[in-house]
Every structure is written in C-alpha cells, then in structure tokens.
Amino acid sequence: MPLSFTIPVLILSQIVYVGFCGTVFFHRTVSHRNDIHPLAEKILILISWLGVVSSAMAWAGVHRKHHRYSDSDKDPHSPIMMGKFKAYWQMSNNDLDVLKYVPDLLRKPWYVFQHKHYFTVLFSIHALGLALLPMNWYWALLVVPGFLMWAGGSAINIFCHDKHGPANVTLWGILNGGEGWHKNHHEQPANPSFRHWADWGGHVHNMLKVTK
C-alpha cells in the first residue's frame, strides 16, 4: 500500500483508538469514573468495539485491579513482578475475577451488552469486512485500529515503568494521548488530567465531560 494511504490511516487510528477510545474513554472515563457527555459515551463504546482489547467493562476491571494492587503479586500486569515480556501480553486479561471491580458498570445496560456479546459482534464485523471490503480497506478499518489500541496500552505499561514503579516518559505522553505521564497518573488516579500541558487526552476529556 502506498505511503499516501498508510500514513494517514496510522495517524487517524492512533488519534481515534489510542487517544479517544483508549485514554479518554476506557481509561479516564470508564475506569476512573469521570463522566463524559452521554452521546459521546455511546459513540465511543461502539467505536471501541474494533479495538480488540476486550470490552470496556473487562478493561476497566483489569485497570482498577491494577491500581488496587499496583506492582504487587496481585497486579494483573506488573512489569516489575512478572517481567516486561509477560506483562505486555497480560494487558487484555479478560478474567472473570475482574468483574467484581466494576459493580457500577454492571448496572449499565450498554456496558453489560458489549461485554456479553463482545466477541460475537467483533467476529461478525470482521467476517463482513473480509467478505465485502477491499483488503486495503479491511486492513485500515479493522486491523490497524485493533493493533494500535492494544499495543498502545501495552507500551505504556512496559516503557513507563522503571525499577521504582510508574515513570513519566514524554515521548509516550505525546504519542499516546498523555498516557506517558504515568507517574503523575498513579499519584492522582481519579484525576482525569495527568497534569502536563501536552496531555492532549486530558484536554479532549475536558471538552467531552459532563458539566455540573
């Protein structure tokens, strides 16, 4: 595929799936209970279905468990405890155990529906995509988003930890919607801002949040 097609696809997918779906929606909104406008919430839960990182409910459960047991033997993806390579592959942990960390989401029909039917809908979309789309568009619309959203979260877990725990890495902050300011986030997990002027995911969340 020509670069004139590939580069815009990668940039747009990084913004939409790593930025909007990953850091703004799954992380700041769902995992840490920072509400955004209901319409934006519904749009993002639908778009995020193509991210191939599990349902929003499962992702939030894993992330909340991670914060509760950060870098201990109960942390589901600690690079300090289990090594970086293994931790990379644990990011999409879909263990039923994590549902006990999301009682608020179990009361929301949209989240329950997505969790229950996540793989059925995802496989159906891919089957239709393979049948109906040219291969370059199948790659652009259904393969790249899933890879980038999964890889983006995993990269933060691996590269934004050192031997002392969470660390701030500016490069990953700029690339991944502010997620690289990981130490800042762990210091104030409930804060939807990661307290850096270049935290563009925080600025997007601020624009979408529910005004009191």
What pLDDT sits at residue 75? 84
| Torsion sign across C-alpha atoms 196, 58, 148, 139 | negative
What pLDDT sits at residue 135? 95
Using alpha carbons, list the distances in angstroms from residue 97 to 28, 94, 109, 179. Answer: 21, 8, 20, 25
Distance CA 164, CA 51 (A): 31
When the pLDDT of each residue in the chain is averaged and rounded to a whole number, the result is: 90
Per-run averaged pLDDT (10 residues), the chain, 212 residues: 89 95 96 96 94 89 91 82 61 66 95 94 96 96 92 86 90 96 96 96 94 62
What pLDDT sits at residue 86? 60
Torsion of CA 43, 45, 49, 51, to 10 degrees: 100
User: Taking the complete model, does pTM exceed 0.85, yes or no?
Assistant: yes
What pLDDT sits at residue 206? 96
Check if the beta carbon of residue 35 is closer than 8 Å to that of residue 209: yes
What pLDDT sits at residue 54? 86
Cα 66 from chain centre: 14
What pLDDT sits at residue 27? 96
- Name 129's Cβ contacts closer than 8 Å, sequence gap at least 6: 138, 141, 142
User: What residues does each domain of the chain span?
Assistant: 3-208
